[in-house]
Chain A
């Protein structure tokens, strides 16, 4: 059996060497296709992570009417705490708000001179439970908060949440559509290259059939050829992607680095890389299978 596979491997490499240009072209096109798909996947992966991190920080701020009394504030706090999805609440008095502002302004705090804390409205910061951080659930919560008396305004980054959610959805959709198209293209390219190899080996195949070669003996080298094309194409795509990733990281300006430093930019995990390589091989196998179905049977 091992001798059979050694011989099949030898024939696969000989076939590839004999049709070097079509094989290199196929590997190049596979790697470009997989590179495009991988770029999208990597962006989508990082984007999803970023969105998840950002969603964790989403909070709702409720501004109360300025004349709200302490008892009324207590009443509002109690009612908000009872709402589904609320993790914790924190009351920010006008004095706390002024202190926060002064802290943020730092050396320029003097611009607040003469301004009394009383002009700032009291507010309540609401921390949401993890499972209640989707756009729809936040909207639902806000509509309930708005029914509570003494509420002046409710704020949350709804535009951002919606934009990011929409963008994330679009990224995933693009990833699948592009992935599907590229998948079909890769199978088409591999099957055509293998078909070309088979055609150039037609005489040899005929002679082997005459000598009693089994169908497996004839077909397996072409399957191996497809596997190798897929593996090399995927390997090249991953290598190029890693190179691009490194270049991107190196070329980030210090300012940009400082800005995005809390958000790590990931590369694919080892498991994902293995899955991409295996995927390339499966595509190669499938392409060569189609070619052999078309030509050899």
Chain B
């Protein structure tokens, strides 16, 4: 369960990224976060992942009050989240396998299990033949698939995805969505930020529209009520 109460974010350069965002996403739901560039989608995901602190408001994820000043267990939060984002770089001096395996190593997964899980996820993202290859030898689309594999290998309870299919071709885009839907069907909560109208039309899940850092659906409701 994700809960945000009156969350606002203003950057030190006075740019307002989010204004009074309230939202609630029950466990197991698939939700799209839509909006043009600069609408606040990435900031919202970064706040949920604990990469940024909101200027005001409260955020609760799976019972963890992550905006509490004394919240120190950020690593506990991140262990239940798979974050797919271009911000979250791959290690260029490692192989595909090592990049994906690192996600399991940091949580103390036994070597045998690491071997099994990494093999499985690379197969699912179509990179089973490229495990030993250096990250530098991959195309942008392949690197994106490694990012997705790394985020999902730990079977997270929550997936936060920031434009995960943006640089993938149509076939890979469908395969990646298929992979996310598999996780969703197994009970994983998914919050996917995208500008891709095709995706929004094709998958009939709840959409939270953002514009200028505000929830447009709530604003429209308020306007209708006032009208």
Contact = CB atoms under 8 A, between A and B. Distances in A.
Bound together: yes
30 contacts: A3-B108, A3-B110, A3-B111, A4-B108, A7-B105, A203-B91, A204-B91, A206-B89, A207-B88, A207-B90, A208-B102, A208-B106, A209-B75, A209-B78, A210-B78, A211-B79, A211-B102, A211-B103, A211-B150, A211-B154, A212-B75, A212-B76, A212-B77, A212-B78, A212-B81, A212-B106, A213-B75, A213-B106, A214-B75, A215-B75
Nearest to A217: B106
Interface in B40-72: 49, 51
Interface in B88-109: 88-91, 102-103, 105-108
B30 interface: no
Contact of B89 (A3, A7, A207, A217): A207
B78 A211 contact: yes
Contacts of A212: 75-79, 81, 106-107
Contacts, number: 45
Interface string A185-215: 0000000000000000001101111111111
B88 A210 contact: yes
The 10 A-B pairs at the shortest CB distance, nearest first, are namely A212-B79, A212-B78, A213-B106, A212-B75, A211-B106, A211-B103, A214-B75, A208-B106, A210-B88, A204-B91
Given A209-B78, A210-B83, A211-B154, 17 more contacts: A7-B105, A206-B89, A207-B89, A210-B49, A210-B78, A211-B79, A211-B102, A211-B103, A211-B106, A211-B150, A212-B76, A212-B78, A212-B79, A212-B81, A213-B75, A213-B107, A215-B75
Interface in A208-242: 208-215, 217
B105 to A, nearest CB: 6
Nearest to B88: A210
A217 B107 CA distance: 9
A9 B164 CA distance: 35
Interface string B4-32: 00000000000000000000000000000
A207 B98 CA distance: 12
Interface of B: 49, 51, 75-79, 81, 83, 88-91, 102-103, 105-108, 110-111, 150, 154
Nearest to B99: A207
Nearest to B49: A210
Chain A facing B: main interface SS:
helix
Contacts of A204: 91
A3, A7, A206, A207: residue with the most chain B Cβ atoms closer than 10 Å: A207
A9 to B, nearest CB: 13
B189 to A, nearest CB: 17
Given A212-B106, A212-B107, A207 B91 contact: yes
Contacts of A209: 75, 78
A207 B102 contact: yes
Contacts of B83: 210
Nearest to A213: B106
A7 B107 CA distance: 11
Contacts of B154: 211
A297 to B, nearest CB: 12
Contacts of A214: 75
Contacts of B107: 211-213
A20 to B, nearest CB: 15
Contacts of B79: 211-212
Contacts of B150: 211
A213 B49 CA distance: 14
Nearest to B110: A3
Contacts of A217: 106
B147 to A, nearest CB: 11
A40 B184 CA distance: 70
A209 B91 CA distance: 13
A217 B104 CA distance: 13
Nearest to A10: B105
A177 to B, nearest CB: 42
Nearest to B87: A210
Contacts of B111: 3
A208 B154 CA distance: 13
Contacts of A7: 105
